[in-house]
Structure 1
Amino acid sequence: METTHGLGTGNRSAAAPALPAATEAMIVEHMPLVGHIVRETMARVPSHVDRDDLTSAGLTALVMAATAFDAERGVPFNRYAATRVRGAIVDELRSIDWASRSVRRRSRELDATRANLANVLGRVATPAEVAQAAGMSVSEVAANDEDVARAQVLSLHASEDDAIGERLVSTTPNPLAVIEQKEQLTYLVEAIAELPERLRLVIEQYFLAERPMAEIAATLGVTESRISQLRAEALVLLRDALNHELDPDALAPEAKPEGCAAKRRESYFAAVADRHAAGVRRPVRGQRISISA
């Protein structure tokens, strides 16, 4: 990746002014963060997504984050930069045409072959018949169909004469939606792990172990009403923790920002962010988390 941001002394562009030394140092120091986020993303998207494209988008976002960073806001740079980098990578994924030109062309050819065979045979052709007519193997036809099925955002860039973009019906999840869902689940698991002990126990026992409130109340030696209150308190914390990391605009402001409750909440948010930044993952072990009040 070529850069015009003045990183290093041997590749400066006359079109862009050199960055301050402190800013360059901050960028270089946090380049591994981009690599970590890209690796995390590549594990969740189809194999044909180009790692270099995501890396380029991430590094560009890192440079922009470093130049715009204001330490007086009280947000650590690594957290601020991670948010910007993830946002840039999501934007890059939105802009990607998931099906290459060759995949599109071959898909149109196969569709035409299927249509011709249907007219001749009076029925839907079998995969073997389609493969023989197209001069391909059955596995090649299946592979092309799978590639097209992964083209979730194809219609965003399909041209007017590219009918497949309009009629494609995919049974696979949108890659971007998969990423966002897994990111939310990751933060949720980490946010549960950072809850105060009693709140964490209530959430784990009620939602994961699916124990009745009466049993949880007996375990903790409190009333069912108190368990209900603890559950509600935990849900608010979890919701706010996810919004703090993934959708800050949706985070409700504190009524008393200087109060003890606000400080405890900010401390909790910081703990969740630190756990995520450290790359700590606690597997859900096949359990399906579905939390609602």
Structure 2
Amino acid sequence: MRENADTEERDALITSSIPVVTHIVRETMGRVPSHVSRDDLTSAGLAALVQASKSFDASRGVPFARYAATRVRGAILDELRGIDWASRSVRRRARDLDATRAQLAGILGRSPSTAEVAQAVGMTLDEIARNDEDIARAQVLSLQGAQDASLDDLLPSAGPTPEQLLEHRERLAYLVEAVAELPERLRIVISDYFLEERPMAEIAAELGVTESRVSQMRAEALVLLRDALNHELDPTLLKPHARPQGSANRRREAYFAAVATRHAASVRRPVGVTALDETA
């Protein structure tokens, strides 16, 4: 009899809290790309709700709805982290563009312009810029898991270990320092596009270049940022430069050294001084 009563009580908790899942999914869908499946997020949320009903302890004094919301948000965040933030068509087109760029670079002996790539693949400059933009946003979103950082704050207790949190903070610190050490125009593109969310047309007008050039600069900056983090945190992932003796590689190495120096200085900096002071 007691087992039946417990089952009925759990069922009642689940049924009464389904709107919590619906609300969180609806809230999340407003911040993610349109190809993310609402059904997948709902399934993850409902599964977490059922698990929450089994582990809920009323004696702790926490309302079930609040406890369940934390578990549901954590499950949805995990689901989002496993999603490819770019659609298949965008990924396929990006692979084709990368292959074309590599082929033209081999023929021309230099990096091809966007116009040359567009002519080779039969696309307009705007189409290439939009595809590059979709990929760039996907790269950032895949790192964040969601556009709202508060989701990370609501992960259940079985979340990252202290070591993982320390590693995550170190990576973020390096990222801030790597952005600060970017060449000025690349830093402007990254800050304006990703942090201030300014339209590409505005950034192009400010820098006096075309939108396709801004797209190229953004891609160049993202490669530099990735390589700088790998250089400091996981050298095995750092790809060697195509021309080790060239001036481009010397500039890259100088950039890596500048990031390392800035990080070393930030480690010695008093606690009250933030990394943002360096870029003020």
- Using the size of structure 2 for normalisation, the TM-score is 0.47
Instruction: Specify the structure having the higher radius of gyration (Cα).
Output: 1
- Using the size of structure 1 for normalisation, the TM-score is 0.45
